Structure 1
């Protein structure tokens, strides 16, 4: 429970902050998260009781709930060229997962000590990153899309001009501005058909023109399915898992290398995400991971010889490498892209909620499952990978090569994404998009009159 309290707090935070983060912005949410991370680290490092330790982990869980819901959105909304979003979020994934092996090796080094510093120093060490992240954000503006959504036109124009390195009057800045305002107008019109009861169907029933409910539900389900596929289970309990298949005296060392391999898997995504596309990365990655985790489960189930156990270790290395490439960074990027502008803070919160809810379930139930049913627990992980294939094939259109405003109109098309002949903006959606771009001019005139 001490371990899982962090994920539980992140899960609850993701839901709670959805009601006010639109007011404080993406930048404000990130800064608030880093402040909470520093407070939580200090409380944990100064702990002399289990309740105090749990309170500290709840604070850091609140911090990661804020940060994980806002950072992907901030990166996506500050990308200017269509090809900016993929590499930016891929780099974010590389740095994010690099923290896993870094934390593991720091912890591994301090386990050689036999005093209070062996656990207090590693905990307080994370403050360095929170100071750097929060301090950097203090000097950065919020995103132009957030400023426009909040009717802060002058600030939105100024940031958009800075990002384009061009004057506000330039055609490039004005074209982006018109697209953003057109998307805002379309989403405001779609609000009339939006009702909270539609969320109870998880997006199956969605009467909104641009499928707002379905998109927000997808933001929840994609990261939840990702955790169901086994990433946090392996990252948190790599030592426990490896102890079942390899020599005890090698477990700690191999677990460190395994987590490092996980981080290395994210690196190729930076160079290929825009060329391969989000949908292909998610779909074919899930297929490869299903095959690998099935092989691993079979090897663990039989494992009578040393050679078979080492083969299982090799397979789980490959699984995590593919996982890092295909699902670790791409999910955050995809969810930030499909969330509607007016509801992108809710989309970010839904993404973080799904991520940390399933992480909590996995971290809390994983050790119990391994202890009670052994290798049969991996059948649950296999089922998550199979669900991922079906989900992406049927529901996820390709968002690469399009602006965030064009992505809005991908969901105007009817039918399942995987059963269409192509995944581009269809004729019906393109007509709607052109209509809304024309309406954005009218919207600007209305605002000027007000």
Structure 2
């Protein structure tokens, strides 16, 4: 079907590229042992890019495999309007051989999955469990004039767990987890995540300790990935070119603690949503942003790479409706070489920040932040108490420079189809208060 739009563009003397998406999303909400809601929605989009006489135009419809010739005229008009803003990059070359992504069955919330979710959400007196499962199955196709179409199928499962416990007060904790297999994610939920979250919710429902005092600070991965997401724009080439990144002109300098690495790899085997190429057909692969604490590079798409005189890192992502390409990570993972374990340290009192409740203030350019959070106090003997509602404040760039080690437990945050992952970290650079 993409041939129609390519042929229409050729009638105007333009080269063209057609990107199409077909997505089917299943959602299932279970609470207190009952299925509250179940839905299945099909969506799609067609995005057309045209090149004519040094201009680049773009148009999109929220219809999969559209043949509407109005897309061509709209894209050509956009190209003419944008021509005064600068020189457009030439049409990209034919896609090279992409990385192969692992074959997995498309995720489905079938009858068996629904029954498991319903059972897991039962809870008990004083405990409310709500499970929101979502399974996305996507089919992506890209057809460029003069080349054969390419495409891939992929899918991701998302689980949002919300636990509310009642005791001396009300304890609440939420958690997002992701996977590519519904049975695998449900197994992890049942054996690991749900028991831990229920225990935390019950603890957060107890009377808070009278005084906030501790020797060491552990920031859980659930909190770290939200903080790290604040400064993702600093690692994007468009931010560098526009003067919005504090990391500009610092390639080769130490910007994090020794042993810290930050790598974006949409093709990684453990990526929740692996893709072989980005929204422009550029093959994806690992891009090292930080190696052993040293800044190595930035994420880029075709346009920003051309402006910077480099090659695209395959980080040009389209929005969920096929929107114009922007630079975004695919699966950004923070690592540290030193494993300091979780929570308990003999002879020391640890404050474990387990949940971020929202940003009071945050600045993605400076990295400054102040957020509400929940925390647990772990005594020298391993006893655990509720630290209550606290404020956690600091600077994310300063945090990267003061990571002593990790706790070995990777968590994930998601924004559209971008994922940011990292472990809990031990640090001395943040301040807390009530």
TM-score range, shorter chain: under 0.3
Larger radius of gyration: 2
The answer to which structure has the higher strand fraction is 2
Q: TM-score scaled to structure 1, two decimals? A: 0.26
The answer to which structure has the higher helix fraction is 1
